[in-house]
Structure 1
Amino acid sequence: MSLKIRRIALSNFRKFRDPFVLDGLSDGLNVIIEPNETGKSTLLEAMRAAFFIRHNTANRLARSYAPHGEAVAPQIEIGFEARGEAWQVNKRFLKGASVEVRGPSGRAQGEDAEAQLLALLGARRDTSQAGDVAAHGALGLLWVGQAQALEVTPPGEIVRDSVRATLEAEVGTIMGGAAYQRVRPRIDSQFADYWTNTGRPGARQSTARTEHDAAERAATEAATRLAALEQGFADLEAARARLKLLDRDLADTADADRRRVLVDQVDVARSAAQLRDTRRAEQGRLADQVKALEELTARLVDARKAVSKTVAELASAFEKRSALEEELANARERAGTARDRLAAARDTRRNAHAALDAAGRLVAIQARHVEIARARQRHDELLPLGAQLDVARELGKTLIPPNVIKMLEERERAVDKARAAVEAGATRVELTGDVSGVQIDGMPAEPGDRTLSRETRIQLGGAMLIIRPPAELQSAETVLVNARDDLSAVLADHGVASVADARTHNEAARDAAANARTLEAKIAGMTPAVPLLGIAGGASALKTFVAGLHESAEGEGSEEGPDLDALTAIAAEADSALARAEGGDEAAATHLRELEARNAPLMVQAAGAERDAANAEAQLAALEGKSEVAGLDEALSEARQQEAAALVSLQDAERAATAHDVSAIERQIAVLDKRAEVARTQRIDLEKVIAGLEARIEAEGGKGLADRAAVSRDEAEAAAANLARVMQEADTLKLLRDTLEGTRAETSRTFVGPVARRARRHIERLLPGCDPSFSDDLGLTSIVRGGLGENCGDLSRGTQEQLAVLTRLAFADMLLEQGVPVSLILDDPLVYSDDSRLDLMTEILTDAATRMQVILLTCRDRAFRHLGNRINLTGVE
């Protein structure tokens, strides 16, 4: 039974932002031919969404229905016929999601509407993210999107089950008999109670396991509470026993007596420690006294040695300096003589260079006078050239641009053209003889020719001659006047009387510009830069310099000047003498510095030795002046004896203090105090524990925990037995179902023959003598032509696409026999078909349209324009 789409209305669905309605679909072949990007594929996607995609889903596919960049609710409304009855589905996605199905028995909404659609179309719930066509049943196989038919694919499980149901009676197997039909649904029903579709434990198993787990938890809890109660009795007895021991320990007085003895020992130990500290301080004081006397003795010995050493070093330093003094004096005398010679040479050089500089300045003044005279001469020659240059530049600036000349010529030609047009249409009259008394437009006439371009009245005595030129002459005359005005305006703007004058003026301006460039080059050559006078290159610099001169200033100067060569030779000799004097002075100074460098450390050494000797003698005198030095040896001996006696007393006090260690005794007392405190704390804690145990035993003892534990254990064993029974039943059902399914799969291989026979009926029209071969999943795998088999994957893309369409038609015919609502929709079909096969395939589709509704969505007008019911997508953006 064919599914027939009658009307499709879209709003806010992808590119269909505005409301769009498509109707007029017939029962047979419908062809929608539109260019690319007009919404054909979107139309097919909208039908799939309306029938198979849940309204309240928010997956990636549903979100893609909204127009790009807009937060709106896509809406779809489809009117269709199924099983000979009229239906309508309205579905809204995303915002305010809803669904409503109207049929012969009324309306359904929400989940009821979704379930009614799936049952009507023979589909199952689609839970995929991108849309699973296998879940769409027969329409998932027969509604073919772009490029989906480019390879041969097997039908989905729903289609295979429907086809097997059709063929079971034909192949005559028991798997299609009434017994199987009665047994298999009951097994599937019971199997669904025990297992899910994915093979995981179902509700019955889950319930039994849940009950078993709950019973085990209850039994474990009861046993735990009973064990805790029994443990509470044991803990109570143990706590009471420990409390008795603590009370006995606290009543014992041995630790108290021991503590009193230790306190008395602390007092004795502290007295011994105080005496030890006193002896230690006394011994330390005597040791410091002995050390001070020993240090004083050592310092006296060191001071006397230092005095002897510094005196010897001072004598050695004076001896070294005396050997260098005479040589140093001679070097100083030679250095003084060299400095005197250098000063005389410098004076001589200074005088020679002063004379040379004076002569140079005099020569420079004479050269300046000469250059000033030349500058004045160039200035006099420059003035007339500058005046000529100014005139040439001014004339050159009046050059009329070429575009203006061109415009003048064009306007002059326009005037000539307009004049010719006026003369061609004007009336010419000639007056000869006696013209007295003749008037033209009220004015006395003159003999000769006259051109009349407008209405003219000629008075001839008592008669009036009216001459009217053609009407077109008025417009030609107007054109002539306008052309003359345009020409006169441009000529006036550039100050010329005619175009010829403009050309003559431009020639003169060009000559002036060339003459200006020549004058500029000549002036530039006459006005070079004069560094001696500080004059830069150019006429303006020369004019500025000459304008700043006084008439009487800077004369030509004397004819003769000083002898610069002789003065230069004298200056060079003075330079040589100065160089020799500087060399001698530098050598003498170097020698003197070397001697002084050798003398400097000796002086420093002698000064240091003298200072060390004085310091050593002063330190020795200070030490010998102390009062302790007189009887130093006797005092040192007596102090050592006293230190030895104090050391003996210190040792006796330390032995006495060691016998009674205060820290050790205090640690023992702390241990005894801590032991008593811990015992008291433990007693309090035990009393708390005993009270808690007694309270818990009193609370739990009357609840019958033992009986409850026994009952819980019995219930857990019963639940375990029930779980084992349920699992055994589940395994049995699974084995039975798998066995039936395996037998069914084995038997289904016998279905391939009928499927191949039905498909061959369509395929032979395209490929005569071809024998198709199907796999167990009813997918076309190969074809046999001329005894040779070919895999479908090795065929051309066009042949694969054609076979995919034909096998779908074969399955559609089988589904029609089952009464399944089917229709065929092909989006952009047969793109790789040649002309002959395309014609044959359109014939096959036309024939199929007599059994079911067929909708072709294509952009190929030439290939499909002659087919079926032509529908336009009006209103598509």
Structure 2
Amino acid sequence: MSLRLRRIVLDGFRKFRTPTVIEGLTDGLNIVIEDNETGKSTLLEALRAAFFVRHNTKNQLAQSYAPHGEAVGPKVEVVFEADGAPWSVSKRFLRGASVEVTGPQGRAQGEDAETRLNTLLGSVKDNSRSGDVASYGALGLLWVAQTEALAVSAPGQIVRDTITSTLEAEVGSIMGGPAYKKVRARVDDQYGAYWTPTGQKRGRQTEARERLERADAAARDATERLAALERTFTDLEGARAKLKVIEREVSDETDAEARRALLTSLENARTAVQILATRRAEQEAASGKVAALQELQRRHLLATDARDKAQAALGDAQTRRHRIGERLLEARQRVADARTSLEDARGTRAATKAAASAGEQLVAGQKRAAASRAARARHAELLALEREHRDAKALADTAIPAMGIAALEANERAVAEARAVLNAGATRISYVGPEGAVLIDGEAITLGERTLTRSTTFSFGKAALTVIPPGAAESAEEALMESKRKLAAALEELRVADLAGARARNERARDATAEMRTLDARIKVVTPSDPIIDLVAGPEALKLYMAELSGEAENAQDDVPDLAALSQELNAAEDRLARAEGVQESAVDLLRRIEEEDGPLVTMEAAAASDLANAQSQIDEAEARPEFATLTETIGSARERAAECAVKLEDAERNATAHDPAAITKKIEVIDARSRTATEARSRLLTEIARLENTIEIEGGNGLGDRAAAATEEAETARTAFQRVTVEADTLKLLRDTLDEAHAEISTQFVGPVARRAKRHIERLLPGCELRFSEDLALVSVTRGGLAEECENLSRGTQEQLAVLTRIAFADMLLEQGRPVSLILDDPLVYSDDGRLDTMIEILTEAATRMQVILLTCRDRAFRHIPGNRISLGR
């Protein structure tokens, strides 16, 4: 009898917070392909709840049905067919719990409805807290949730009892009559006197074995003591002979003379290593000088090329310039207000930044002071080198990042562009005549030129003349002022006067970095290791050694400013400045919109002019360097110097290689170790000779021979008794195993029909295989090519496939008994390769001709080609 689901309604059940209807389910294969988290697993859980979970339970499983955060009564309705008859079940949990079942016999509610469902589906009442699928009967085995099919397991007791009733008619009753039980009880009683239930030895076997072990141990001990006494005489003679050899080696003076010669070679090797370090430092300094001069030459060539290109671009831009503009009066007040706010924000930011910088300088100064106090007693030459190193480090730290230089160049370019726009759009006048004769905006005009960017009135006695410049002039003047302010702020932030100063500071920082590498090499040369005073190599070891000689240095501490608080204040000021700049940019953009047509040409001319000035500045900067006049000759001299240093370095490396301090030290250590070993061996031999002499004196008169003979006789007696007990135990075990084999043979006949039905499906997946089932109908192993493989040792994909196929076999057997059967697989075959997946799909498609099959999956690519009824969850 096949069970066929037709319609499912869920309301307030976990993810399904609103009423959801799933219908259109057909007799054969039904496929639900939906994305993750859409409720496929919840749908299967709802079906289990409707058929098997009691409506009035409030266990942990029922509590999980309610949607998270909602106090509602989850409801499930299912319309289905069983043995061709229409049925329906409606069940509500928790709040207003109820159940109603409608079938061929009419309606039933409450406990009667639950009983009718159990009778129809062959299930029993589930009293567990989280749901026991074994109590669900056949559908508990065939409705497979996620991961439940990842291991091959035995069916529940209900299913086994159902299948047993079918198989007993084929193979007869299982061996187990009264005579068998009586014999088996007697055998088990005698078996327990020799063996544990798991087949381990105990009782009489253990006692006999322990007696034999004690006797063997006593015999071995007596024999070993006798043999040990005999060996003692031999060992004593051997130890005396070895002592004579060791004493000859200790008196030999050859190793002492070799050690003195090696010490002399070691001093020569250390001197060669120090010279090598000095030559390496000189070579690095010379190579750095050549690289710096070549870099200067390369920058000059690049700047010259950039200047020529900028001149051509500037000429082209100037020929294409034309004036375009309109008035934009309504934005003036907005720009003025934004400018005022921006100036206030900049002032606040500058003050806060100055305070933060002062705090950082104070902390840095304290650290430098502490370092200076700690080094007051260092060696004179090391002090001079470290002072030079600190100066070079401070100069190197002033290097401005490439992004900072680029920002300065961009700000200068912006100033040039804004000035060009202003010159292009403003009105210029020149006055010549007596002062005070003409008034400009009510004030006396002065001699000379003036630029007009806004409406201006000239008074000539009673007459007045108003000059109105183009509207673009005012916004251009504002843009120029803003660009200048940004440039000034950037220069102030970097603490440089102009872009050339920034580049010069970077040049000094690069030279300082090269100087630091040279100083590091020199410091390493003047701080070699000295094993005579246990001083290891390095400046820190030297400073520690000198400090121990001269006492502790002062360690005064000043108040440390709260850098975190200063940083927070600076961040707040930066935020205010950013907001003010945003308002300012918005106001200027409002004025600038009308000037967009003229903008590209203005920008082109300004950019070309800025690039020209920048390139010329770089050329002037390079040519102003003292070494530029004779740069080619200086590079040649530097290369010659580098070559000389390389030759000296090679000579020093050859000298250092010829005298390897590590190898010489190793030879000295070998000689010392050999001497220590000989001395220690002499002491051990003297001790061993004394011990052996004392042992001979003690053991000589104890009668060890007689003791060994008595112990051997007792061991033979115990061995004879142990062999007799072992024969008795093996006989009982053989009898018991024979009974088990007979019982297993009958059991094999019992599970044979199950194996034949399962093999029909499994052989399509694993050709030529043999199956072995346990008494509880669980698939235990698969034999292929004569090799048996336990199911638990198979891959996860094979286990999942076998689990699905055995379920299909059980479903076919339950169909023969007229049991309600359908197959639901949630996210099946996730570990299957493409070939096996196709085979499994073919088997499932064939099974769908005998029963209703529902596949719940998120793998559209794997199942889209399968011919079947497509179902949507309707969400």
**TM range, smaller chain:** 0.3 to 0.5
Per the normalisation by structure 2, the TM-score is 0.37
Max Rg structure: 1
